Amino acid sequence: MLEYVWLIPFFPLVGVIINGLFGKKIRNEAFIGGLATAMVASSFVVSCGILIQLIGMEPEQRVFQKVLFTWIQAGTFKADIGFLVDPLSAIMIMVVTGVGSLIHLYSIGYMHGEEGFYRYFTYLNLFTFSMLLLVLGGNMLLMFVGWEGVGLCSYLLIGYYFHKKSAGDAGKKAFVMNRVGDFGFLIGLFTIFWWLGTNHNVWTINFVELKQASELLPFGGVVTFATLCFFLGATGKSAQIPLYTWLPDAMEGPTPVSALIHAATMVTAGVYMIGRMNFVFIKSPTTMLVIACTGAATALFAATIGMAQNDIKRVLAYSTVSQLGYMFLAMGVGAFTAGVFHLMTHAFFKACLFLGSGSVIHAMHHALHHGHLHDDPQDMRNMGGLRKKMPITFVTFLVSTIAISGIPPFSGFFSKDEILWQAFSNPYHGTANVVLWAIGTIAACLTAFYMFRLVFMTFCGECRINPKVKDHLHESPLVITIPLMVLGLLATFGGFIGIPKLLGDLFGGIPNRFELWLEPVFEKSTEYAGQYAHAGTHYGHSVEGGLMLLSVGVAALGIGIAYTLYIASPSIPQRFTARFPGLHQAVYNKWYVDELYDFLFVNPCKALGRFLWKGFDVLVVDGIVNGVAAVVRGFSGVLRYTQSGFVHNYAMTMALGVVVILAFYIFR
């Protein structure tokens, strides 16, 4: 089965070619959507086969490389089109193809009747192809191709409704901000390649060879520079401070796209990249601290913004940014397994939340459309009481919300608690660990609060939609609810593959399968970290258990506050905003970060562009070109008089010329 790993990205590529070339002629929605879904589902089947085969192998042998052909060969530089299968990429392909095929299925229902149906599925297949290339690529360059490919598809799909100016702008914003990060990625790649080559004559970009060669890299120094560059790439792709502002705007795209690209898969590419190159990152304690701090700061910062948004998708977008912050926090404290675990559980519950919100928007849109109303179907202030109208959506949404809030035994609890525990106990950053843990815990409380605020405002209380169209609200069709139910189940039970040892022992010694599974991938980093880690205190079971209870407690506290404010006494939020209008405005306007960026970067860039246009291009460049033309015209104006148009003049000139030439030869 492993030999056929190339089939995994190949299937979606076939979908791209068929739908992309002939989709416009085919026009049959069932065929186009069915084909795209079937292609991703086929990849999922192959991925399952590969996973099963990997499980059957010895843990040390679970690394397989399949080289299709040599792509670039220039001197000492060699890049193959080759795939790398190991426990980490196996998890990623399972998530991408599994969640991906559910979202493809969902899209058939959600995008029904949209103009450019074939275009949508072509892009979605192209995205799946690129994402699979990213996670399966056996070297940094092939990974970068996938990295750029998903960025392109993200741009195309955010701008799917390109006739809306805001959608086009959001697409461009995402693309440009990603470019900033991609630049970092490339510099990092060059640095590692060049440094290993010139100093140790190891010219390689292959991950397996790099892992061997990572012994040669120093702690800090050039590695700090390279990994910071890579991390810049990760902040762009995974929406971390300072490059996170594109993700909330990316909600202009269709909702399934938000679920697939901007929640479950693409935005986790940065986390995956750090996990893939853990043996490089771990060698720079500075970078690890930067990653941890950025992650923690993003987790808290995005959570605060999420508390005051009214657009259902924007709340989820900020929640995604915040959860990605958790993953980076985990990466930064050296808990790679926990980060990847959260990546996986987050893919389940966040995809479910986004698809649930899509189902709500779909219903709202139809009802409002029916009544010819122009209210915003995404504004939670227009919702409320949808629980009875849309029971399946409500239940799946609720379990995912509980999961993201970190209530046991739902999946989010296991992954988030693992991250917080590792942030507290891992001895890499000394006292900073406690601060990181505290920020993470506060953000966990905020997460529970704003997510339950979302649920209460949308599904509970009085129905605030215009009473005229109240009866037109109804549950979405099966093609939409089936993916919701599957993802809801995954969000509920997905955490059981990574039960922490403390709890596992309570229930008769269940091992942490997830950790064991990923152990061979991160073995080098454990080894390197041991060389510089502080000999920190070893905390006992009681501390771990206490922190676990505390994290559940703060989540419950967040839920309680949300219940008080939005169910028990709904007048408090208004009183609060009336009391602190400045604070509310600042949070509502996303702390004015967009305005700050406009002031610091966008407007200076525009001014520079205007200067180069009006000043340099018009005056200097055009001046030189036009000046040359004017000089030539002046001379030719004079010389033109010799062209009299009279044959006699020409003949005379010719005869005189002959005479002069003859005279020259005779008398010289």
Partner 1 sequence: MIPLHYYLVVSALLFSIGTVGVLTRRNAIVIFMCVELMLNAVNLTFVAFSNFLGSLDGQIFVFFVMTVAAAEAAVGLALMIAFFKNRESIDVEEMNLLKL
Smallest separation, CB 645 to partner 1 (Å): 3
Give the span between the Cα atoms of 443 and 659, in whole angstroms: 99
Tally: H helices and E strands in the chain: 30, 2
Of 261, 181, 301, 231, the closest CA to residue 596 belongs to 301
Nearer to partner 1, 69 or 646 (CB): 646
Nearer to partner 1, 608 or 659 (CB): 659
Smallest separation, CB 74 to partner 1 (Å): 56
Give the span between the Cα atoms of 37 and 52, in whole angstroms: 22
| Choice from 52, 596, 651, 661 touching partner 1 (CB under 8 A) | 651
Smallest separation, CB 634 to partner 1 (Å): 15
Smallest separation, CB 640 to partner 1 (Å): 6
Size of the site for partner 1 (CB under 8 A): 10
Smallest separation, CB 649 to partner 1 (Å): 10
Smallest separation, CB 616 to partner 1 (Å): 36
Amino acid at 144: F
**Other C-beta atoms within 10 Å of 412: how many?**
31
**Other C-beta atoms within 10 Å of 666: how many?**
7
Give the span between the Cα atoms of 214 and 196, in whole angstroms: 9
Site string for partner 1, 286-325 (x = CB under 8 A): ----------------------------------------
Concatenate the DSSP letters of all residues of 499-516 into one string.
Answer: --HHHHHHTT----HHHH
Write the Ramachandran bin of 536: left for phi over 0, alpha for psi from -120 to 50, otherwise beta: beta
Nearer to partner 1, 199 or 644 (CB): 644
Site string for partner 1, 85-124 (x = CB under 8 A): ----------------------------------------
Of 293, 473, 502, 483, the closest CA to residue 414 belongs to 502
Nearer to partner 1, 506 or 658 (CB): 658
Smallest separation, CB 158 to partner 1 (Å): 57
Residue 251 near residue 311 (C-beta atoms within 8 A): yes
Amino acid at 376: D
Looking at residue 477, the DSSP 8-state letter turns out to be P
| Cis bond before residue 409 (omega within 30° of 0) | yes
Of 344, 404, 376, 531, the closest CA to residue 466 belongs to 376
Amino acid at 616: F
Smallest separation, CB 655 to partner 1 (Å): 6
User: Which 608-647 residues touch partner 1, going by CB under 8 A?
Assistant: 640, 643-647
Site string for partner 1, 205-244 (x = CB under 8 A): ----------------------------------------
User: Which 448-477 residues touch partner 1, going by CB under 8 A?
Assistant: none
Smallest separation, CB 628 to partner 1 (Å): 21
Token duo for residue 30: 């069932």
Amino acid at 355: L
Smallest separation, CB 183 to partner 1 (Å): 55
Nearer to partner 1, 55 or 659 (CB): 659
Give the span between the Cα atoms of 304 and 443, in whole angstroms: 8
Instruction: Confirm or reject binding of residue 655 to partner 1 (CB under 8 A).
Output: yes
Give the span between the Cα atoms of 255 and 357, in whole angstroms: 8
Give the residues across from 137 on adjacent strands: 83
Smallest separation, CB 666 to partner 1 (Å): 14
Nearer to partner 1, 374 or 648 (CB): 648
Give the span between the Cα atoms of 7 and 357, in whole angstroms: 33
Nearer to partner 1, 571 or 642 (CB): 642
Smallest separation, CB 20 to partner 1 (Å): 55
Nearer to partner 1, 612 or 651 (CB): 651
Smallest separation, CB 644 to partner 1 (Å): 7
Smallest separation, CB 637 to partner 1 (Å): 10
Token duo for residue 508: 């008769």
- Binding region for partner 1 (CB under 8 A) out of 78-86, 110-118, 527-535, 650-658: 650-658
Of 228, 230, 218, the closest CA to residue 290 belongs to 228
Write the Ramachandran bin of 656: left for phi over 0, alpha for psi from -120 to 50, otherwise beta: alpha
Nearer to partner 1, 540 or 645 (CB): 645
Nearer to partner 1, 165 or 648 (CB): 648
Nearer to partner 1, 506 or 652 (CB): 652
**Other C-beta atoms within 10 Å of 522: how many?**
22
Q: Is 271 helix (H, G, I), strand (E, B) or coil?
A: helix
End-to-end CA distance of the chain: 92
User: Which 253-292 residues touch partner 1, going by CB under 8 A?
Assistant: none
CA-to-CA dists, residue 40 to 29, 135, 407, angstroms: 17, 15, 32
- Ranges assigned E (strand) in 175-221: none
Nearer to partner 1, 70 or 644 (CB): 644
Nearer to partner 1, 74 or 639 (CB): 639
Nearer to partner 1, 542 or 642 (CB): 642
Footprint on this chain of partner 1 (rule: CB under 8 A): 640, 643-648, 651-652, 655
